[in-house]
Amino acid sequence: MNKALHKTPVIDLESHPSFSMQWSPARDGRPTPAQDNAPGADPTLNPTLGGTEGHGPREDGASDPGVPDPGVIDRVIDEVSGWLRKRQNDDGHWVFELEADATIPSEYILLNHFLDEIDDAREQKIAVYLRRIQGAHGGWPLFHDGDFDMSASVKAYYALKLVGDHPDAPHMVRAREAILKRGGAARANVFTRYTLAMFGQVPWRACPVARVEAMLLPRWFPFHLDKVSYWSRTVMVPLFVLYSRRARAVNPRGVEVSELFVTPPEKERKYHSNPTGHWMGSLLLKVDAIARLFEPLFPVSGERKATEKALKFVEERLNGVDGLGGIYPAIANCLMVYHTLGYPKDHPHVRTARKAVDGLIVDKGDHAYVQPCLSPVWDTGLASLAMQETIAQGRGGLSDAAPAAQDSAIAGACAWLRDRQILDTVGDYAAWKPGLRPGGWAFQYNNAHYPDVDDTAVIGMLLDRARDPKNKEAIDRAAEWIAGLQSRNGGWGAFDADNEYYVLNHIPFADHGALLDPPTVDVTARCVGFLAQIGDPKYTPVIDRALAFLKSEQEPDGSWFGRWGTNYIYGTWSALAAFNAVGEDPQAPHIQAAVAWLKRRQQADGGWGEGCESYWADKRDFVKASTPTQTSWAVLGLMAAGEVDSDAVRKGIAYLSHAPREEGRWTEELYNAVGFPRIFYLKYHGYPAFFPLWALSRYRNLTRGNSRRVSWGI
């Protein structure tokens, strides 16, 4: 069957109530909904790009950057797909760097000094990186060119001092002044204060009570590990042990940072604050204070039993050299626990965890940084989908005979992914979905206890589109697993179902607001796209509930919140792709509202951009500059909504055709994703290759083929 003409089965679904929005600040980290500023908007931020001004040749004879040039599009697609093919590993997978902020590299240095495993050569390279990303404000931001962040700044300053930077060095003076100006290190977040306590820089009363006895609590208790997200679980369990044992860093050089405090740490009385401002937060602060008074009375036998249970939890999920949970904070906490409990350095668990941490380092020669985790499965899925789009049509028209090299690239990727499907290990999701057969994929190379719903849906669409009979069993198991993890409200979270115990976001420990994994629009949209694409009628009721969830989550201005990508552009593209996958009428009010929102957000250069700042309510419409990644999401979203021939799409494609590239990857400094809104941001280095290639190829296919309709779930 001709790939480009394959039709997604259109599922007949009854209409759903028009969108409305009810939201509590404790829900998922999104800012309070606000109307788009289009009426009376600043034209320098949100120009309306209607009409056909600028079309045609320029006076200098060059092609107009506002009009897509078919020859340029072909050339760019060929160059980028060729570059991407060369970046594929021999076994078929792709993996690109995943960069965060100063926090993880700083924590790596702190970890080495906690353990007395100092690596001066490597730490000096990380120090170069930390100095380079220091902000003009003197501190360190959460993302490129972002505002000052207290916790990132305190950790970066401490890390640089540990590697030998003198406090009187100009960059250290600027950092210290910026920290003190904003209240000092006592205002750092909870996790930073735990680190400072372990290094003896603040008293333990600066940290919320986090006793290991929490491991023994029954599920009916307000707090239970099953009620928090996977990332919280894997970070908290070893942290419980560290807190209960009052872990102490070796800190062989005796480095301290008392100069970062406005009030001496031992005299400071205002370490804790209500994380949400809600009365429940105030109440739980009092509960925390009472629990602190009773800590000396806790029986040693209970602590011992709980510690044994914590260690068992960790050891069942050590995950080889991929580490506990596959994420840096959990792996580092695991290493510190082993040190605190006296495990020898040559113990197999210690050696394995150490390899997992060191495996996250990116060494650039003159500098280095540490990734929060690895993203090979996600990268491989997205790269393959982009490559599939490039071979759906050759220059001369639709073709079944794709270039052999590109076919082999996708076949190799699919084979690699099939081998990584989790079919035997029952993950933590079974606590709420017992009996559900495994069938998902993890985000990392290996993380069997924590398969990722988003990855699984993307890979399911890739395998289905490949039309290889070898993929059928993998697709069937993935669909069964995804359908089984649908939450009661019709949506999907990233790892768990119904993880909506919002009261936990009020506890003092949760000042980061990222304790939970509730259903989100982007993950739900991906699941709808996958289930609609495979066209199995038994999943119609599942899709029906999901569509109702998506419509209920639309913002008043027509956009959708983007939980895992920055931000409303990502969420809106995701939702529009899902509605297209089920054959929803592009003229439906909710789709037209989204289209209008995207068009209002287009910039004067034809691109789209949205700052990471948009996760704060007062900066919801913040734009620094157009980016290739966000432009691609917007164009893909508009094309899914039937806007292939619109002026907005043409100008977006023209922007991508002419935007600067470094070989096969578009130039993009700004961050493009989010770990936890307002807390932790990410830059996927592969995004500026995958998504522009995908958008350009899809535009070529739709404008030169026999149909203007996107035929796939994403």
Q: What is the set of active-site residues?
A: 454
How far apart CA 189 and CA 202 sit, in angstroms, is 13
Structure tokens at 705: 């083929």
How far the first Cα of the chain sits from its last, in Å, is 19
Beta-strand pair 680-684/673-676: antiparallel
Tally the residues of the chain: 714
H or E element at residue 683:
strand 680-684
How far apart CA 463 and CA 459 sit, in angstroms, is 6
Sign of the CA dihedral running 148, 152, 154, 156:
negative
How far apart CA 163 and CA 471 sit, in angstroms, is 51
How far apart CA 470 and CA 468 sit, in angstroms, is 5
603 in helix, strand or coil? coil
DSSP state of 327: S
Structure tokens at 335: 């290493």
How far apart CA 689 and CA 286 sit, in angstroms, is 50
- Are the C-beta atoms of 439 and 421 separated by less than 8 Å? yes
According to DSSP H, which parts of 169-273 are helical? 170-181, 190-198, 230-244
Instruction: List 140's β-bridge partners, or say none.
Output: 149
Q: Which residues contact 137 (CB under 8 A, 6 or more apart)?
A: 147, 148, 178
- Are the C-beta atoms of 460 and 534 separated by less than 8 Å? yes
Greatest Cα pair distance in the chain: 84
